[in-house]
Amino acid sequence: MTGKRMKPVAVLLVLMLALAGCSPEQAGQPAGAASAGGEGQPKGGGELTFAVASSPSGLDPNVYPGAADYRVMRSLYDSLVAQMPDKSFKPWLATEWTVSPDGKSYTFKLRKDVKFHDGTPFNAAAVKFNFDRIVDPNTKSRFAVTLIGPYESSEVIDDYTVQVNLKSPYSAFLSSLSQAFLGIVSPAAVQKYGEQVDKNPVGTGPFKFVNWTENASIALERNPDYQWGPPLASHAGPAYVDKLTFKIIPEEATRIGSVQSGQVLAAETVPPQNIVSLKNDPNLALLEAESTGIPFTLMLNQDHAPWNELKARRAVQLAIDVDTIVKTLYLGTYKRAWSPLTPSVLGYNPALENSYKPDLAKANALLDELGWTKGADGIRVKDGKPLALYYVTSTPNREKRNDIAAMIQQQLKAVGIAVNIDVTTGSNAQTIVMDKGTNDIYGVSNVSGDPDILRSFFHTNAIPKPGKWGHNHTHLSDPKLDGWLEQGLREQDPAKRSEIYKQLQSYVVENAIGIPVYIFPYTVAASKNVKGLKFDTLGYPLFYDASVQK
């Protein structure tokens, strides 16, 4: 089965973009194409400076899992396949592929003209090296190991043919392969740098790594040999700009001020209060793409009483006024989330929209039934212990998540729940949540193009433990959830898959396992001199087609 012949499989995942109805720029279409009509072929050269809100943790896609990592990685690493806006898959580093009748083996034919930035050849052995490395416990992969699913082995058939064997059918495999987290790293670079390859990244992408100044900037330069651009691209050959520099500017007013003053040419994550003024700025363009996957969702840790009781979780759910939070903090620029999946993902359950509303009387009644009585200070007490919820959030105040915590603190106080907020560093938050698990509530989001991402957040195997990375922050081990997640992993029929995930989403919301809050619209303010900046289907920026007009 070739890339084209994969269409019957690819349609398992076909969905319309949630961006339908947006302007071309909003829809992730080439911004430059929308604003540079009649200006002809972009001229090469120059430097594109792009301000990001946070520093990547590392640039080894086999290991590091963050959105901040991905935004840089995508320019350094290519993938075997590309996911298109209609959710179909097209060849990229793989020219074609076949799938065994039992759905457990994928055989990829690879391009023969690709080299890593260090001059070593991209081939079947490199693919096998990467995949074997991801599942090696010594690699300590945090997310790629989840994306690669039931991987069993890879076999080098010849220099440019590799067969990947899975332990069981995996419907999300191509979607996972299209992500930069399964981008192909130079084996020679891994052998040369060891764990330090995260600070010395070597891929096959349109840009090569130059240097990383901690907490200040990451510099890339054009790969002059690049001839294997993704099918989403508008041109062939090397990238247009000579240099691509990511400036790390956490403070949002400074970041946006930098693009307004011309110190950088583009900046990500525009604060809601600046969106209207930027839309009216004749020197800037506002670009927007909705991030797909898991919206920002609050997870209640069920290792701790009383949050292991449904009535207590429901009380929290009913006492939080999500609409007010989203409208107050994001001024109508963010959508409220109702499900642990965003609407553009296969299987999204629209029936959950408006399925419940804040109800303080009911929340109070549920806590009364559990024996928690209000003390003189309004906080409930049971057996001499106050009803308190330990809420961990980290700096910087990404997407106003610390402000969400503050608003929830006030809202839950109204029903007698004390919220103790711990605003800490990202690394310390990870220690508390991942290693110690002492938190009661924690908010997360994740970008993905397939509903299998839910497996990373709700399956028993994803519960974090000391020394084991995991995103099941609910710590819930539920055979019903595990069963649906494993069914969804194997199911090949799109309609059946969709129904599985709809049931799962309903179960999560009805049992107050997770409380969805907002859907993140990834926004970029860019100088009108920047052309061709676009987004991939996950909502991440693509710089390959970008150019800078003098």
Q: Transcribe 293-342 into DSSP letters.
A: EEEEEEEE-TTSTTTTSHHHHHHHHHH--HHHHHHHHHTTSSEEP-SSS-
**Per-residue pLDDT, 66:** 87
Is the confidence at residue 24, as pLDDT, over 50? no
List phi, psi (to 5°) of 514.
Answer: -135, 145
Q: What is the per-residue pLDDT across 305-316, written as a single tens digit (0 to 9) for each?
A: 999 999 999 999
Torsion of CA 221, 222, 223, 229, to 10 degrees: 130
Residue 36 to residues 243, 282, 358, Cα–Cα distance (Å): 21, 15, 47
Q: What percent of the chain has pLDDT over 70?
A: 93
Which single residue is written with the structure tokens 């806006």? 85
How is residue 437 written in tokens? 């698990």
User: Using CA atoms, how far apart are residues 216 and 199, in angstroms rounded to an integer?
Assistant: 14
Residues 460-472 have a mean pLDDT of 88
* Numbers of helices and strands, H then E, in the chain: 17, 26
3-class DSSP state of 13: helix
User: Using CA atoms, how far apart are residues 350 and 146, in angstroms rounded to an integer?
Assistant: 27
User: Using CA atoms, how far apart are residues 379 and 393, in angstroms rounded to an integer?
Assistant: 22
Is the confidence at residue 8, as pLDDT, over 90? no
Residues 432-454 have a mean pLDDT of 93
**Per-residue pLDDT, 23:** 32
Is the confidence at residue 43, as pLDDT, over 90? no
Which single residue is written with the structure tokens 């019903």? 480
Residues 6+ apart with CB under 8 A from 16: 86, 344
The model's pTM: 0.85
Q: What is the per-residue pLDDT across 266-291, written as a single tens digit (0 to 9) for each?
A: 999 999 989 888 988 999 999 999 99
Q: What is the mean pLDDT of the chain?
A: 91
Phi-psi region of 384 (alpha: psi -120 to 50; beta: other; left: phi over 0): left
Q: What percent of the chain has pLDDT over 90?
A: 83
pLDDT: which is higher, 24 or 281: 281
Residues 6+ apart with CB under 8 A from 181: 61, 62, 65, 70, 73, 143, 144, 147
Which of these, 392, 337, 327, lies nearest to 515 by C-alpha position?
337
How is residue 178 written in tokens? 């299209």
